Amino acid sequence: MTSVTMPETGGPGDGSVILRCEGITKAFQGVHAVNGAAFDVVKGQVTALIGPNGAGKTTLVNILSGSMTCDRGHEFIGGTEVTNWPSHRIARLGLMRTFQLSRELGGLTVLENLLVAPHQQPGESLFNVFFRPRLVKRQERAYVERALDLLDTYGLYRLRDNRAGELSGGQKKLLEISRAVMVSPQVLLLDEPMAGVNPALIDRIGGYILDLQRSGVTVLMIEHNLNVVEQICDHVIVLAEGRTLATGRLSELRQNEQVVKAYLGEVIDAGTDR
C-alpha cells in the first residue's frame, strides 16, 4: 500500500481511530472482491472511499456493517473487535449504513420508516406493554417528536404520511439518511449518497453530511463524484482490485502515479468526474 501522509493540521477530529480494518479479504467462488484492504477512519472526519467500478467498495462496506462476513482480516470499532459480528450487534455499537439502492419499507409511511429504526424500544416487550404502558407511551411520543424533527430537517415533513415506496429516488436517499440518523450513530457509512440525484439535491446532501460531522458523527462514504469528495471530505481512501492503494487528501492523490493510473487518469482525461 502506498500511503500519502496527511498534514497534522488537516481536517477536524481529535485524531483517534474510530473504525479500523486490517487485511479484510472476501472471495466469491475463488475470485477476490476484497483482497487485504486495510485502513483507519479517524473520529470526527468525513472520509471518502473511492476507486474504479469492481474495486470492492460496496462489498467492503457490507462487511464493515455486518451484512456480510469476511474470509480473513479484522475489524475494530473503537477498541472493540467486531469481525463478522451481525449487523444488529454492530448497529448497537453505533455504526449505521445506507445503501446504494435505497431499501425503504415501501408499504409503511415515511414517518413509520423512521419509527422502526430505534432498537430495543420499550414497546417491543409485552411486559412493558401490559405493565408499564406509561413508559411505552412516553418513549413513543419522544420517538415521534424526534422523527418529525428529522423529517423537517431533511425536507420530508410534508411527505410524512405518504407511503415510502411512492417517494422519488432523491427523496428515498434522504429517507435512508434520516432513518440512519434516527438512532444517533457514531459512525455513518454512506454507499453512493449522491448517485442518481439532481445537482441541487447533491448540494443539499453535502450540506447535511457536513452538519452531521459538526454534530460529532464520523462519516465514511463511497462516492464517485470527485467534486463532492474534494469539497466535503477530509480524507480519501483509494481502493483498487480489493486492496487499499493509497490514502490522503484528494489534492495529494491526484499527484500519485499509481492512483492516476488505476482510477483518476480516466476521470482527468475525460475532463469530468464520474
Count Cβ atoms below 10 Å from residue 250 Cβ, excluding itself.
Answer: 19
How sure is the predictor about 123, in pLDDT bands with cuts at 50, 70 and 90? low
Q: What's the whole-number mean pLDDT along residues 241-261?
A: 88
Q: Which residue ranges does the chain devote to CATH 3.40.50.300?
A: 2-104+184-270
Q: Domain 2-104+184-270 is classified in which CATH homologous superfamily?
A: P-loop containing nucleotide triphosphate hydrolases (3.40.50.300)
Fill in the amino acid letter for 220.
Answer: L
Q: What gap in Å lies between CA 231 and CA 201, rounded to an integer?
A: 15
Q: Write out pLDDT tens, residues 17-65.
A: 999 999 999 999 888 999 999 999 999 999 999 998 888 999 999 999 9
Among the listed ranges 104-113, 128-137, 240-249, which one has the minimum average pLDDT value? 128-137
pLDDT at 225 over 70: yes
pLDDT at 205 over 50: yes
Q: What gap in Å lies between CA 96 and CA 38, rounded to an integer?
A: 20
pLDDT confidence of residue 147: 92
Q: What gap in Å lies between CA 143 and CA 132, rounded to an integer?
A: 17
How sure is the predictor about 195, in pLDDT bands with cuts at 50, 70 and 90? confident
- Residue 126: strand, helix, or coil: helix
pLDDT confidence of residue 256: 86
pLDDT confidence of residue 188: 96
The mean pLDDT value of the chain amounts to: 85
Q: What's the whole-number mean pLDDT along residues 200-208?
A: 92
Q: Write out pLDDT tens, residues 151-174.
A: 999 999 999 999 999 999 889 999
pLDDT confidence of residue 6: 30
